[in-house]
Amino acid sequence: MPEQTGLLQGKTALIFGVANDRSIAWGIAQAFHQHGAKIGLSYASPALERRVKPLAEQLGSAFVEECDVASDEHIQRVAEKAAQTYGEIDILVHSIGFADRNELTGPYYNTSRAGFHLAMDISVYSFTALAKAFQPFLRPGGALLTLTYYGSEKVSPNYNVMGVAKAALEASVRYLAYDFGSHGVRVNAISAGPIRTLASQGVSGFKTMYRRFAEIAPLHENISIEDVGGTAVYLCSNLAAKTTGQVVFVDSGYNILGIPEPVE
Ligand code: NAD
């Protein structure tokens, strides 16, 4: 591991959403660790425990807790356990999203009522629910962070209900930033370009889109979980002390384009 530069020295961070070593949450956890943060991890279901525990060990983290964010009891339990373990928390990262695979292909108008509710519950409401549960334990100067995608602003074929969910998530970031401002806690989102992870594999046509992305984006490079980790460190550190309610793009500049140049 590179030498610690300590932008997050003395801070405690809880990171939700590590499924494996390709998860964006894992890129963030590693970057936080390199910058001196104490890390706790949370994963969705018992099946993931055997993957997440060894990753936590790499960071010297003993706090590894299951939390299905569909359950208020799980969320409350993990918040109380974190408070018992650490006292106050400085940083909370929400790197969680879910929609049924059937909803991520074909026309958006085919979205089912149940599929819409599920995507909204897991991908949007859970950030607000975590913010509420952790609110009593957040230290002033702290930061909340979530992950979003440009499909919230512009149509990204097949992204469908997840695009609508990300739009709602970004609106939640602004409302939460307003609420938490008076506690001295900042709330931001990173809008990442496409990265090959478990979640992105569920979106129909992702592979082709991923390939074309680097050809089109101004920097002509795909995004890595390390790239997202670096921006997450900045946003959750004191360097970003006056930045809240923002969506920060880590996308090789893709979002500035109007009409992409045709690829020869
Ligand atoms: P991932 O599959 O590694 O992470 C998604 C996580 O959500 C997993 O850890 C999964 O266990 C968790 N999750 C799903 N349902 C849950 C539940 N009920 N309770 C608790 N956790 C649950 O994929 P990722 O790409 O790292 O996704 C992380 C975030 O980044 C998501 O919000 C995703 O939308 C966003 N994002 C991803 C990309 C990309 O291209 N991969 C781009 C922009 C934004």
Q: Is 115 in the pocket of ligand 1 (CB under 6 A)?
A: no
pLDDT at res. 259: 86
Q: Among this protein's residues, is 86 annotated catalytic? A: no
How many angstroms is it from 145 CA to the middle of ligand 1? 13
Residue 107 CA to residue 52 CA, distance in Å, equals 35
Q: Is 83 in the pocket of ligand 1 (CB under 6 A)?
A: no
Asked whether residue 207 is domain-assigned, the answer is yes
Asked whether residue 7 is domain-assigned, the answer is no
Q: Which two tokens stand for residue 96?
A: 């969680």
How many angstroms is it from 199 CA to the middle of ligand 1? 5
Task: Report which ligand 1 atom has the smallest distance to the Cα of 146.
Answer: 32
Q: Provide the b/e sequence for 41-60 (b: ≥16 CB within 10 Å).
A: bbbbeeeeeeebeebbeebe
Task: Report which ligand 1 atom has the smallest distance to the Cα of 150.
Answer: 43
Asked whether residue 26 is domain-assigned, the answer is yes
From 108, 125, 150, 159, active-site residue: 159
Residue 128: domain span: 12-252
Q: Which two tokens stand for residue 206?
A: 């992702």
Q: Among this protein's residues, is 149 annotated catalytic? A: yes
Q: Is 96 in the pocket of ligand 1 (CB under 6 A)?
A: yes
Ramachandran assignment for 245, one of left (phi > 0), alpha (psi -120 to 50 degrees), beta (any other): left
The DSSP secondary-structure symbol of 192 reads E
The DSSP secondary-structure symbol of 66 reads E
Q: 239: buried, middle or exposed (CB in 10 Å: 19+, 13-18, 0-12)?
A: exposed
Q: Which two tokens stand for residue 3?
A: 């030498």
What φ, ψ does residue 254 adopt, rounded to 5°? Answer: -55, -40
How many angstroms is it from 190 CA to the middle of ligand 1? 13
pLDDT in tens, 73-127: 999 999 999 999 999 999 999 999 999 999 999 999 999 999 999 999 999 999 9
- Cβ-Cβ contacts under 8 Å for 147 (sequence gap 6 or more): 17, 24, 94, 95, 97, 189, 190, 191, 192, 228
pLDDT higher than 80, residue 41: yes
Per cent of the chain over pLDDT 70 is: 97
Cα–Cα–Cα angle for 124, 130, 135, rounded to 5 degrees: 135
Confidence of residue 16 (pLDDT cuts 50, 70, 90): very high
Asked whether residue 134 is domain-assigned, the answer is yes
Asked whether residue 6 is domain-assigned, the answer is no
pLDDT higher than 60, residue 3: no
Answer positive or negative: Cα dihedral of 179, 185, 191, 192.
negative
Ligand 1 pocket, mutate which of 18, 130, 147 (most atoms under 8 A from CB) = 147
Calculate mean pLDDT across residues 223-231: 98
What φ, ψ does residue 60 adopt, rounded to 5°? Answer: 65, 30
**Whole-prediction pTM:** 0.97
Asked whether residue 264 is domain-assigned, the answer is no
Q: Is 68 in the pocket of ligand 1 (CB under 6 A)?
A: yes
Asked whether residue 1 is domain-assigned, the answer is no
What is the CATH classification number for the domain harbouring 83?
A: 3.40.50.720
Number of folded domains in the chain? 1
Q: Which two tokens stand for residue 114?
A: 């149940």
pLDDT at res. 264: 66
Asked whether residue 263 is domain-assigned, the answer is no
Place of tokens 């920060």: 248
Does residue 43 sit in helix, strand or coil? Answer: strand
From 43, 149, 150, 254, active-site residue: 149
Does residue 157 sit in helix, strand or coil? Answer: coil
Place of tokens 């990442």: 192
